[in-house]
Amino acid sequence: MYQKTLKNLVSDAKPVEPFEQLEAKRLSRPDPNSECTLCGRCARACSGRAIVISEGRWSVDLGRCVFCRDCYDICEHISSVPAPHYALRREDLVFLAGESRDVEGQLPREKTKAVRGSVAIRELDTGSCNACESEANARGNKYYDMERFGIKVTPSPRHADALLVTGPMTRNMLVAAQKTYDAVPNPKLVVACGTCAISGGLFVTGDVVGEGISDTLPADIFVVGCPPTPNGMIVSLIKALGLRH
Amino acid sequence: MNPEFVVPIDRLQERLQLKLIDGYGIMCMYAVEEGKMSRGIRTVLRRDAEILSLFTPLESDTYDMIHTEVPQTRPYEREMHEMSGLNPHMAEHYGPQRLQWAYKDAYPLQKASLPEERVFRPIPDNRMEGDGIFEIPVGPVHAGIIEPGHFRFSVAGEPILKLRTHMGYTYRGIEKLMEGFTETDRTRIIERVSGDTAVANALAYAHAMEGETEVPERARLLRTIFAELERIYCHFGDIGGIAQDTGFSVPAAYAAGIKEKILRLNEIIGGHRFLMGTIVPGGVRRDISDDSLREIQNRILKVSFDIEELVGMMEGSSFLMDRVETTGVLTHKDAVEYRALGPAARASGVKTDVRKERPYDAYGDVGFRVFTREKGDVYSRMLVKAGEIVESTSIINQCLDQIRPGPLRTEVRTADGLGLGIVEAPRGELVHCAEITEGEIWRYRIRDPSFINWLALERALPGNIVADFPLVNKSFNLSYSGNDL
């Protein structure tokens, strides 16, 4: 029985995907073409209030976008272009019409001192809808296998180099989140994972503290997506921390 | 529409008792604010396809509690006390259900604006006492990658005497966000009530908004396919989690691989790994090409072999069977008394399934079996879930046979009154109640199956050892965010 199964598992033609393949799979973001008349239909249809038209300029904030693609449905002038996996600054996530720039930089050396070849992360849920957790768990399966890049999940914040924070920071989790942050030894990194953690997302008008986790914890990496894909989370950590791949 | 009865508050308890003897179960209970409606308590009961809604007008916020005689209403009364400010003298015995930071002289669902000031409500310290009895607090931040919740075990040595769950860490105030005019599409928010129940939640919301609207046939079939795909990947995740928590990593890795394949299939057919944004009130959002339909068929064919192999692998291991058999037994009596839902109830011999009892979408046109087991332990729950995966593949195949080209959406005209969405989510019966008046959602109540099943878990755990808690918890696989909202 086991032999048969093990054979099945092994003979599955090595499902592990190389880094390039993980990096190539991206979410898409909206981008209007030159025929855009700034009529504002897309901005009104946007549930996350990510698309803003002000002073004659169209912009989309990927920190607020929930990637629902309502804007594509409503306007034929909007096309999809590949979105970045992550950014190191919150303002880098705002894209103007027709703009394309590489925001996937590497953190300065003094921030990543604790990280040499591998990183131990501790997941912290501050009120997410469990889609982010599901995707974070999926990083360990045979397709993504994050441990081959030296990314490891640790049960204790004491052993962690980085906190991976999901959710919009609910009032009830505030104290627990701060205690968990304090328990991580210095130097520490905070990864804001997903739209809720970056900006509060759809729940920013609900019973949450501030806009995303940035008001409470100092976020260093912003991973986009609602939820971020498993490969997005892995690629963000590898590129931002300069891990070997 | 469903019959509605007005029951005065002093008769409510008696009426509920009689209805429960008649075989009805309390599906949902919530308070309605004054203003466009009169203040009162809405109780929705169900017996198979029969829905009964009771309205109890309230003169004052204080009344004699019902749950002392009708235990099913306990979580609802706690919720009404906390969210709608009923029964201000309600015993602080239970502690906060969601709201650890309460408002001073105000409650979250009131229509008047809320004060800034918040009062912290600590978890009451009503631990068990005695020689050698200790209390182990766990959470809200857990060791694994899961959602936050706080548990307190009272233990005498290894065996657990009592478990108390304290939730509310993911409370985001969704029910308040749902209020407002019916034209606004709130599917985006409702899909994020609980990420891995996105389809079921969107479906329940759509049903609540649609009322009597007739949805086109192709849309009904596609909805059914989406809902069943969600059930399949959820159940694979649970079964893999059971293997993981016993330390048997080969089937765990196997199940994770299959789950990933289904998620990728979801991405191909719906554009989202959790199928968010596929269902809208009135139909489905976009069509599925014939190629994708064939892709589903191929993938689903493999799934029924995969589950057979996975369960065979797990059953073939004596140490895994030692862990799962007779662990975390939810007795039939408890399951009936607390009205446990979904696979947890079916594993305890309660034959309840909304898909069968009150068919929605295409479930009336397909044949399938409701799996039940008698013992109510972790193993039974695992088998029920495995059986449901097989039935789900059969349902999808039947839908694929019936599917014909046709329209995908109709115009939805939301009628005033009580909009109900009752759906069998992977975790059990999911209920959305919308009180709609003058084209406005006055009160929106989401009752996730986890809201009830957390109590069932509290009942199932005593007598087991602490190390078995993750296993029992995983076999129930309850949603924290769906419970907290």
DSSP string over B183-224? TS--HHHHHTSSGGGHHHHHHHHHHHHHTTPPPPHHHHHHHH
If one counts every other C-beta atom within 10 angstroms of the C-beta of residue B44, the result is 23
B319 and chain A: CB distance < 8 Å anywhere? no
Indicate yes or no: CB of B195 within 8 angstroms of CB of A206. no
Indicate yes or no: CB of A207 within 8 angstroms of CB of B274. no
Token code pair at residue A171: 């009032």
- How far apart CA B214 and CA B201 sit, in angstroms, is 19
Note the pLDDT tens digit of each residue in B94-133: 778 888 888 877 888 888 788 888 888 888 777 788 888 8
- How far apart CA A205 and CA A49 sit, in angstroms, is 12
Which residues of chain B have a CB within 8 Å of the CB of A123? 145
The label of the residue with tokens 């696989």 reads B477
- How far apart CA A204 and CA A202 sit, in angstroms, is 6
pLDDT at B195: 87
Indicate yes or no: CB of B285 within 8 angstroms of CB of A73. yes
Which residues of chain A have a CB within 8 Å of the CB of B307? none
Q: Reduced to 3 DSSP states, what percent helix, strand and coil does chain B have, rounded to the nearest 5?
A: 45, 20, 40
Mean pLDDT of chain A: 85
pLDDT at A191: 92
Indicate yes or no: CB of A1 within 8 angstroms of CB of B316. yes
Mean pLDDT of chain B: 86
Measure CB to CB from residue A170 to each of B172, B188, B192 and give the nearest one: B172
What residues have CB less than 8 Å from B430, skipping those under 6 apart?
B197, B200, B201, B204, B421, B422, B423, B424, B446, B447, B448, B449
Helix (H, G, I), strand (E, B) or coil at A130: coil
Continuous segment of H or E residues that includes residue B434: strand B428-437
Residues B176 and B108: beta-carbon distance below 8 Å: yes
What residues have CB less than 8 Å from B349, skipping those under 6 apart?
B332, B335, B372, B373, B374, B376
What residues have CB less than 8 Å from B462, skipping those under 6 apart?
B159, B160, B161, B162, B163
Model confidence, pTM:
0.91
B278 and chain A: CB distance < 8 Å anywhere? no
Continuous segment of H or E residues that includes residue B315: helix B290-315
B147 and chain A: CB distance < 8 Å anywhere? yes
- How far apart CA B346 and CA B372 sit, in angstroms, is 5
Of A18-22, A124-128, A192-196, B457-461, the poorest mean pLDDT is in A18-22
Note the pLDDT tens digit of each residue in B282-317: 888 888 888 888 888 888 888 888 888 888 888 888
Q: How far is CA A60 from the centre of its chain?
A: 16
What residues have CB less than 8 Å from B94, skipping those under 6 apart?
B78, B124
Scanning B102-141 for CB atoms below 8 A from A yields 108, 118, 140-141
pLDDT at B141 over 70: yes
Indicate yes or no: CB of A9 within 8 angstroms of CB of B253. yes
Measure CB to CB from residue B141 to each of A168, A176, A202 and give the nearest one: A176
- How far apart CA B126 and CA B253 sit, in angstroms, is 41
Distance from CA of B392 to the nearest CA of A (A): 21
Partnered with residue A30 across adjacent β-strands are A80
Distance from CA of A129 to the nearest CA of B (A): 5
The set of long-range contacts for B105-110, using a CB threshold of 8 Å and a minimum separation of 24, is: B107/B82, B107/B83, B108/A207, B108/B83, B108/B173, B108/B176, B109/B31, B109/B33, B109/B83, B109/B84, B109/B85, B109/B175, B109/B176, B109/B443, B110/B33, B110/B84, B110/B85
Query: Which is nearest to B378 in space by CA: B466, B480, B303, B457?
Result: B457
Indicate yes or no: CB of A133 within 8 angstroms of CB of B100. no
Query: Which is nearest to B471 in space by CA: B351, B319, B346, B342?
Result: B319
- How far apart CA B339 and CA B335 sit, in angstroms, is 6
pLDDT at B40: 86
pLDDT at A6: 60
Which range, A15-19, A37-41, A205-209, B159-163, is most confident? B159-163
The label of the residue with tokens 């892995």 reads A234
Query: Which is nearest to B358 in space by CA: B25, B41, B72?
Result: B25
- How far apart CA B108 and CA B97 sit, in angstroms, is 13
Confidence grade of residue B91 (pLDDT, cut at 50, 70, 90): low
Measure CB to CB from residue B189 to each of A125, A131, A202 and give the nearest one: A202
Mode of pairing for the β-strands spanning A119-125 and A151-153: parallel
Measure CB to CB from residue B145 to each of A137, A167, A171 and give the nearest one: A137
- How far apart CA A225 and CA A243 sit, in angstroms, is 22
- How far apart CA B406 and CA A93 sit, in angstroms, is 40
Please calculate the CA angle B10-B15-B16 and round it to the nearest 5 degrees: 110
Which residues of chain A have a CB within 8 Å of the CB of B196? 130-131, 134
Between these two residues, B95 and B370, which has the higher pLDDT value?
Answer: B370
Ordered strands of the B4-6 beta sheet: B4-6, B50-57, B40-47, B25-32
pLDDT at A16 over 60: yes
Distance from CA of B36 to the nearest CA of A (A): 23
Measure CB to CB from residue A206 to each of B169, B174, B271 and give the nearest one: B174
Helix (H, G, I), strand (E, B) or coil at B52: strand
pLDDT at B349 over 70: yes
Which residues of chain A have a CB within 8 Å of the CB of B484? 127
A and B: number of Cβ contacts within 8 A: 161
Note the pLDDT tens digit of each residue in B436-452: 888 888 889 999 999 98
Indicate yes or no: CB of B145 within 8 angstroms of CB of A8. no
Which residues of chain B have a CB within 8 Å of the CB of A153? 145
B293 and chain A: CB distance < 8 Å anywhere? no
Which range, A94-103, B24-33, B77-86, is most confident? B24-33
**Within 13 Å of residue B415, how many CA atoms lie on the same side as its CB?**
10
Ordered strands of the B160-166 beta sheet: B133-138, B150-156, B160-166
Helix (H, G, I), strand (E, B) or coil at A141: coil
Measured CA distances, B7 to A228, B10, B11, B57 (Å): 49, 8, 6, 8
Q: Which phi and psi angles does A51 have, rounded to 5°?
A: -85, 125
Average pLDDT of the residues in A9-26: 75
- How far apart CA B296 and CA B270 sit, in angstroms, is 11
pLDDT at B2 over 80: no
Indicate yes or no: CB of B480 within 8 angstroms of CB of A133. no
* DSSP symbols for B225-269: HHHHHHHHHHHHHHHHHHHHHTT-HHHHHHHHHHHHHHHHHHHHH
Residues A157 and A186: beta-carbon distance below 8 Å: no
Which residues of chain B have a CB within 8 Å of the CB of A6? 250
Confidence grade of residue B227 (pLDDT, cut at 50, 70, 90): very high
- How far apart CA B51 and CA B24 sit, in angstroms, is 9
DSSP state of B468: G
pLDDT at A14: 66
Helix (H, G, I), strand (E, B) or coil at B392: helix
Reported ipTM: 0.89
